[in-house]
């Protein structure tokens, strides 16, 4: 049996963005080899040689590398991770890795809640393939039933860094459908539950 059946893991394609950022930071001199030596030996090898898109890797690698990158960021931790989320959305759209992201281009901004729930189930289905744990699903917002949230259950092992990065990713995804959509923000009421809501700031006009 593979290691993925025994420990929380993340797909290599998701880890790839952080590896690319680390490699770029090494070239620019914002991250030094000495800092990389603090990482797990297996993760050091991935930074040198890259991950395999469909392989499973310990989710702890994601946390380690994200925290290293956050430490060298010129902006605040959460803002930096949200920017990475926007970058990751663009990366996956260009690569046409997930047909769910291509589906976004066919959606209209004005849809009923029922239609939005149906569309969101399809779009978020790929999120469940990122980890070998957790369940992602849209649902009416318990605080405002006319609006929708994305609920993540079995989320105990999802890194906090991934939560903030996903805020940026979902914001970029929503603004593909509706350019003036509010930014996505999240809360973690318990270790095992994450809720994403589009209740953040609207985009600055002209950006």
The tens digit of pLDDT for each residue in 101-151 reads: 665 565 555 666 556 666 676 667 778 889 999 999 988 888 888 888 999
Query: Contact at 8 Å (CB) between 17 and 161?
Result: no
Tell me if 57 sits within 8 A of 51, measured CB to CB: yes
**Is the Cβ–Cβ distance between 22 and 64 less than 8 Å?**
no
pLDDT at 19 over 80: yes
User: Any idea where the domains of the chain sit in the sequence?
Assistant: 3-72, 78-197
pTM, whole model, 2 decimals? 0.86
DSSP run (H or E) holding 34 = helix 33-36
Residue 84: per-residue pLDDT: 97
Which band of pLDDT confidence, cut at 50, 70 and 90, is reported for residue 3?
Answer: very low
* Phi, psi values for residue 32, rounded to 5°: -110, 160
By the 8 A CB rule, do 107 and 177 touch? Answer: yes
Cβ(12)–Cβ(61) below 8 Å: no
- Determine the 3-state secondary structure of 187 from DSSP: strand
Handedness of CA 59, 157, 197, 139 (dihedral sign): positive
**How many whole angstroms separate alpha carbon 59 and alpha carbon 72?**
21
pLDDT band (50, 70, 90) for residue 96:
low
User: Is the confidence at residue 66, as pLDDT, over 50?
Assistant: yes
pLDDT, one tens digit per residue, over 34-56 is 888 889 999 999 999 999 999 99
């Amino acid at each position: 049996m593979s290691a993925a059946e025994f420990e929380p893991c993340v797909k290599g394609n998701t880890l790839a963005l952080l590896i690319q950022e680390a490699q770029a930071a090494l070239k620019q001199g914002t991250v030094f080899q000495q800092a990389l030596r603090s990482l797990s030996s297996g993760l050091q090898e991935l930074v040198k040689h890259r991950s395999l898109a469909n392989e499973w890797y310990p989710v702890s690698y994601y946390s380690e590398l994200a925290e290293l990158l956050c430490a060298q960021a010129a902006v605040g931790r959460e803002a930096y991770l949200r920017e990475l989320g926007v970058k990751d959305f663009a990366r996956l759209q260009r690569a046409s890795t997930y047909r769910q992201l291509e589906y976004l281009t066919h959606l209209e901004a004005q849809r009923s809640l029922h239609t939005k729930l149906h569309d969101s189930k399809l779009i978020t289905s790929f999120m469940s393939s990122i980890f070998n744990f957790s369940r992602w699903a849209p649902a009416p917002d318990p605080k405002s039933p006319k609006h929708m949230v994305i609920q993540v259950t079995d989320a105990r092992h999802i890194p906090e860094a991934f939560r903030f990065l996903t805020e940026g990713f979902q914001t970029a995804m929503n603004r593909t459908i509706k350019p003036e959509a509010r930014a996505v923000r999240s809360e973690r009421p318990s270790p095992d539950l994450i809720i994403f809501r589009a209740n953040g700031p609207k985009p600055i006009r002209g950006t």
